Amino acid sequence: MEITVTEQLSRTVVVAPKERLDAFSAPQMRERLEALLAEGVTQFVIDLSQTPFLDSAGMAVLVSLLKRARQAGGDVKLVKPASEAVQRILLLTRFDKVFDMLDSVPAN
């Protein structure tokens, strides 16, 4: 039988904000992500597991990244925050429908 086998190497960048992601720190996070997009990264995992606080300015950075990554043929997945309070806000704002939610950073 004819079976063709081809390989794809893909690079995923895991970005983990470990402090408040709010209106004050969002520009720093945005800058960091812009640099990665400029490098050609299109597959992102944003690891929110250790993010203690996330406001709408922080969420805006995630949505903006999602749009740009998808435009470039990639995607953004979120690792669930450990904080239940943050988790509930992601449900309230339906971010769990917009992003693929992961329980933990995928092993490789």
CA end-to-end distance (rounded Å), the chain? 32
Binding segment toward its own copies, per CB under 8 A, in 4-12, 61-69, 77-85, 90-98 = 4-12
Span of 15-23, 59-67, 77-85, 91-99 interacting with its own copies by CB under 8 A: 15-23
* Count of CB atoms situated within 10 Å of the CB of 63: 15
Nearer to other proteins, 28 or 104 (CB): 28
CB of residue 82 to its own copies, shortest distance in Å: 15
Amino acid, res. 108: N
DSSP state at residue 22:
S
8 Å CB contact between 51 and 81: yes
Residues found near its own copies in the complex (CB under 8 A): 1-21, 25, 28-29, 32, 36, 42, 73, 106-108
